[in-house]
Amino acid sequence: MNIRALPIAAIMIVFAAVLAPAEHIPVASGGFFEFESRTSLLLDLGRLDPLVELEGRFEDTNLEFRYRSLTAGAYVRLLKNLKAGAFYRIQQGARHDDDWIEPSLDVWEWVDSRSRTEQLLILDISPRFLLDFMPGRNWVFAVKNRYQYNAFNGQHSLLVRPGLTYYLLRSREPVLNLSLSYGLYIPLNFGETLLYQHEPYLSLLYHLNRNVKLELTGALKTVIWSTSDDSWANGDTYAVPNRSLVVGFGVLFPLSL
C-alpha cells in the first residue's frame, strides 16, 4: 500500500466501522479515567544506569487493578547526547486487538487477561539536546524511540515520543521537571492503522532529595482498536478509537554508588 492510499484506507475502515453492527465493535469497558502508578529503582554507575520498575494500572469498570508489569534492564550513555537502553518486561493484564472475542453466538466481550503472562523485549534509544538558548536556559528536547517485541503474540511496535522538559533549578540543583511530550505508537506488524495509540503526555517530577523523586503524570490516551481475529471471522472490519485520561503517580529512587 503506498502512502497516498493510507488516508483512503483509513476512511474506508472508519466507514466500515460505522456500518458494522454496534455490538461487534469493541466498546470501552470502563470509565474515562484510568490511574497508574510506578515505582522505580535506578542505579547510577557512571555511563551505565540499571533500572528495575514495577508498574500497575487501575482501569475499566470500577477501576479494577488489571495491568501490572515488572521491567528490568539498563540504560547506557553512548554519547553525551545519546542514551540507549535494553529491558526485559513481564506483564499481565495487557489488552490487544485480538482480545475482543465472541465467546458464544452474538456475545462480544474483552478477554480477561489479568492472569495471562506476557514477556517483552524493549530496546530504547533517546537523543537529547540542551536548548540553552531558550529562556531560563534549562530546557532539554528529547525524542524517546522505543522498539518493543511481545513474545506472547509476536507483535512488534515502535514508540516515538518527542518531548520538551523544563528544569527548575535551585542552587544549581533540579527541583522540578516539567515535561510535555507526544507519544506516537506505531504497529509494525499488526493492526490496520498507522498508529494504534497516541497521547499528549504531561509530567511533573519533584526532586524531594537526591534519592527520592515524586512524579505526577497525565496523558489523554487514544487507543485505536483494529479488527480482531473473531471479528474478521465474523466478516467485520473496524478501527475504533477509545479515549481515556490516564493519571499517574510515581515514586523513583535514583541511587548513586
Partner 1 sequence: MNVRIGTTVLLALFWLVTAAGQAVGLEGDVVYTFGEVLVHRNPEVVIAEIGMPVGEGDVIETTGDAMVVISLVNGAEIKLRENTTLALDSLGRDVSVRLISGSVFSRVNRHMVNGFSVKTETAVMGVRGTEFFVAYGRKIDRHRDVWVCVNTGSVEVGLLDTQDTLIVEQGKGINILGGTNLTSPQRYPWTRKLNWNMDPASGEVEDRTDLEQAYSDLLDQDYD
Binding of residue 126 to partner 1 (CB under 8 A)? yes
Burial, 40: exposed, middle or buried (Cβ in 10 Å; 0-12, 13-18, 19+)?
middle
Q: Which of 30, 56, 162, 174 binds partner 1 (CB under 8 A)?
A: 174
Binding mask 34-73 for partner 1 (x = CB under 8 A): ------x-x------x------------------------
Binding of residue 158 to partner 1 (CB under 8 A)? no
Query: Which run of H or of E encompasses 140?
Result: strand 139-150
Binding mask 205-224 for partner 1 (x = CB under 8 A): x----x--x-x---------
Q: b/e for 123-161, b at 16 or more Cβ within 10 A? A: ebbbebeeeeeeeeebbbebebbbebebeeeebebebeb
Output 174 or 241, the one with its CB closest to partner 1.
174
210 Cβ partners below 8 Å, 6+ apart?
254, 256
Contact residues: partner 1, CB under 8 A: 40, 42, 49, 75, 77, 80-81, 83, 126, 128-130, 138, 140, 144, 165, 167, 169, 171-174, 177, 205, 210, 213, 215, 252, 254, 256
